[in-house]
Amino acid sequence: MLSEASVSARVNALMHILKGTADLELLCLNSRADFEDNKAYYRMRIAKETNPAIRRLLQQDLLYLDQIQVSMATAREFLIILRLGSQSVGERLPYLNRIEKSIQEQGFSVQRAGKEEIKRILAVYFQQNVVAGRLEDFDGERWVIQGGDS
């Protein structure tokens, strides 16, 4: 828990960042953690386990992961969004680097979103879909049969 002075300092630092760049926006989304790989591992272990005591422990761990996932569905994630409309393609990377450095200088950690993170953010923003495992690049992509002759 941060002191009131620490919270005030963080708010002022964030305000400085947002005021310093007109193209920045703050976005708050429902957050989620993806436990599907871990849950699949537990299911596989439960299916193979012959010791009933260990099987019960694995089932309890699987139930615990379900509970964590449900509780995290109501967690919040704060994003700083940067619109790049006015910069030419050659100016974008130096501009992003300058903004990233400015944010870091105010004491915040910065991570650029990759393709999968952007798809997840858009799914949450537009659909409130916080539990999807894998997101498609194109709507209906899972139904396309690759390599087939039509």
**DSSP-derived secondary structure letter, 147:** T
Please report which confidence band the pLDDT of residue 43 belongs to, taking 50, 70 and 90 as the band edges.
very high
The β-bridge partners of 66 are: none
Q: Domain residue spans in the chain? A: 21-141
Provide the mean pLDDT of the chain.
Answer: 80
Residue range 82-131, pLDDT digits in tens: 888 777 888 888 988 988 898 898 888 888 888 888 887 777 767 655 55
CA distances from 121 to 18, 117, 126, 141, 142 (A): 20, 6, 9, 19, 20
**DSSP-derived secondary structure letter, 25:** E
**Who has greater pLDDT, 121 or 135?**
121
% pLDDT > 70, the chain: 76
Angle at CA of residue 71, ends 67 and 77, nearest 5°: 140
